[in-house]
Every structure is written in C-alpha cells, then in structure tokens.
Structure 1
C-alpha cells in the first residue's frame, strides 16, 4: 500500500472539489448581490430557462 503525505492528500481533495470551490470563488459577487437585493425589495430574476436539462 502506497502511503501519501498529508499535503498530497489535501491537494487531491482540493482538485477533486473544484466543482464546488471554483464557483464559490467566481460566483461570490453575484451571490452576495442577490442576497443584498432581497431585503432591499428587489425582485429575484430567474434564469431557469437558460440552464441545461439535468437528468
């Protein structure tokens, strides 16, 4: 059995979680704006029709 360093395991974990990590970083501004708009009384818009169908 090959033993991996803690650092190597953490890097693999980060790389494996990029589908969660990258959007968190790149979409943060839009998400915060959306959250701030709700108490300000601005209507939420929908982009559901532009999303691909997921089965």
Structure 2
C-alpha cells in the first residue's frame, strides 16, 4: 500500500495461504490523500488500484 508516494505496507504470502485470504490494515489518513494498491499474483499478473480519500 502506497500513500502519497510513501510505502506504508508490504506483504508476501506463501503457499500455505487460505483460498480466500483476508488482510487488514488500519490507516489514519486525511482528505486528499492518494492511496494506491499494487498486487502481483503467482502467475505474474499485476493488479493496480488508485483512489483519493474524500
């Protein structure tokens, strides 16, 4: 997870992960923050989401 250009969380899961994994993070942001999520799966597929805190 990247907030305003700074990485605030990174995670790596191995082969022992559940079928439907769940990860939680508490973040105290402010209006206008840019939050980005970037994911890479085991088949080298990239997923990217970006939003602005309202």
Q: TM-score, normalised by structure 2?
A: 0.24
- Mark the structure with the bigger radius of gyration: 1
- Indicate the structure with greater helix content: 1
- Indicate the structure with greater strand content: 2
